[in-house]
Chains A and B, each alone.
Chain A
Amino acid sequence: MKSGRYKIFLGMAAGVGKTYRMLQEGHAEAEAGRDVVIGYLEPHKREETSAQARGLEAVPRREVAIRDVAVEEMDLPALLVRAPAVALIDELAHTNPPGLEHGKRYEDIADVLAAGIDVFSTVNVQHLESLNDQVAELTGVRVRETVPDSVLGSADEVVLIDLTPEALIERLRAGKIYPGENVQAALDNFFKIENLAALREVSLRQVAEDVESKRLVYSEVEQVGTRCEEDKVAADAPKAVGERLLALVRPQPSSQRLVRRAWRSAQRLGTGLDLLWVKPPGQAIEGELERQVTALRRLASVLGATFLIEEHDDLVAGAARVVRERGSTYIMVGESNPPKGFARLREPLPQRLMRATPPGVDVRIVAHRSLKEEGR
């Protein structure tokens, strides 16, 4: 079955109008004759949003008990049985209570898409995993519900709902975002001009990067319409125009040299840089490891690079997945220590990477300084 189309409405903060816009587009689809239902809507007691939802069918929520308290959640099985053409599912970063099909709502959405249903959903930029620390530092508020960046990357379309900080504050003061008694507290904490300006910049940058990585290039062969079916699949996959660099890092000081080299190369090529750590599943990020991960995140932020963590038990498979998703054309890896024991029989990492990644992706090895010094 063909997977549904995924459209995400991205905002810099609550109240910019993501849900409202999602509902507007839902209405437009319904008017065009498509079967549209609301899978889950969180109107936050906002009158404008509730009014916009009128006229659209909603799948009833289901009640889930958490420690004797009943909460309402999206009814995934009911939505799948209803099988509309388009489902509107608010707040994809939401964490489900225990006992439901998945821990997170974006995982529910994956099931809906897999059932061939188009999904419109919403998220704020601070929920993106790679930006979580950065946003926490900018605003002093840490968001607990995060989603992997790959969720945004997997969307067919990302719509940025942009609003100037001044206009957003105006909406807040007018009581359009929170009830009157909460407005002052919001103004004193999160909703400051400088916070919102910074978040807006982060959102704009995020979408610009997303657009860049999804830009398609078409071959001349395609234009004259003589491609075979296999070629068509390959040309439909996202390919970055120009180059994109990916450095495979580990959270340890020796990776910094690799990052420096990769950044220099990215500067010369005038292209974006991704830093990727393939984390073994279940490995806790704490203690020294946490310190090094934080250092890498901060370095990436200084350089304007993107730090990605991919959880995978196979380094090569994990890296290859990200290479395809990000449209990387160069992979830079650090020099490995000389193999010992049975590891000598294994194919070296660069060769394995070359075989696992799409044709045309170059692999470059950056020498480890201490190994060089030892060899002198």
Chain B
Amino acid sequence: MIEHFLVGLALLLGLALGFLFARRRRGGETEAVHQILLPFTGTEISRRAIDAALRLARAEHATLMPAYLARVPKSLPLDCAVPKEADRAMAMLEAIEQRAAAQDVPVDARIERGRSYRHALARLLDHEAFDRVVVSATATGSTGFSGDDLVWLLEKAPAEVLILRPGPADHRVLSVNGRPPAVPA
């Protein structure tokens, strides 16, 4: 009698552990696959672009990779420390992370240096893998990406590129231009 009980208990324990193990593995695989890149420059980024990237990330259980692109003057080595740029980047990334956390989207941020924004983006494309890129085309060009940059991105990015059209809500930006980061709406 006691033997039957012990065999049954061992069986149940095995099943429970197997279920937990499989669930953890499935979870791990999902996390490792998807990355959505959100490159930006300067001290403001369109909220539409952030929201679009977050919606996609949430729907696809993906990780959002906001990437601040920093320009390094030619007089300095490309890989020197850039504290002023980093200061701007930190505030922006903090604000984006707040917004992402509110929507349960994991974030894996980057700061990439280059001689130009396009060069920084090219360096990022070289050593990071992602499935989508979200950029916004604005009428004012204030994001720092020119039309040429966007065409270049379409040609070079080994991922699906989502370019947002200029829209009426583009004046709503997440901005940290010398002030504390904007609180997410």
Chain A residues with CB under 8 Å of chain B are 134, 137-138, 194, 197-198, 201, 253, 256-257, 260, 263-264, 267, 288, 291, 294-295, 298-299, 301-304, 369-370, 372-373
CB of B109 within 8 A of CB of A303, answer no
B93 lies within 8 A of chain A by Cβ: yes
**Chain B residue contacts of A295, Cβ below 8 A:** 108, 110
Question: How would residues 42 to 72 of chain B score, 1 for a CB under 8 Å from any chain A CB and 0 otherwise?
Answer: 0000000000000000000001000000100
Chain B residues with CB under 8 Å of chain A are 32, 63, 70, 77-83, 85-87, 89-90, 93-94, 97-98, 101-102, 104, 106-113, 127-128
**Chain A residue contacts of B87, Cβ below 8 A:** 267
CB of B77 within 8 A of CB of A197, answer yes
CB of A260 within 8 A of CB of B93, answer yes
**Chain B residue contacts of A304, Cβ below 8 A:** 81, 83
**A373 CA to B101 CA, complexed, in Å:** 7
**A295 CA to B93 CA, complexed, in Å:** 15
**A198 CA to B108 CA, complexed, in Å:** 29
What is the chain A residue whose CB lies nearest that of B64? A253
- 10 interchain pairs, CB-CB under 8 A: A134-B79, A137-B78, A194-B77, A198-B80, A253-B107, A256-B109, A260-B90, A263-B86, A294-B127, A302-B86
CB of B98 within 8 A of CB of A302, answer no
**Chain A residue contacts of B98, Cβ below 8 A:** 369
**A302 CA to B88 CA, complexed, in Å:** 12
Closest 5 interchain pairs by CB?
A304-B81, A253-B108, A198-B77, A302-B111, A369-B101
Q: Shortest Cβ distance from A220 into chain B, in angstroms?
A: 36
Q: Shortest Cβ distance from B178 into chain A, in angstroms?
A: 15
**A243 CA to B90 CA, complexed, in Å:** 22
**Chain A residue contacts of B109, Cβ below 8 A:** 253, 256
CB of B86 within 8 A of CB of A370, answer no
**Chain B residue contacts of A299, Cβ below 8 A:** 110-111
Cβ contact of A264, chosen from B63, B90, B106, cutoff 8 A: B90
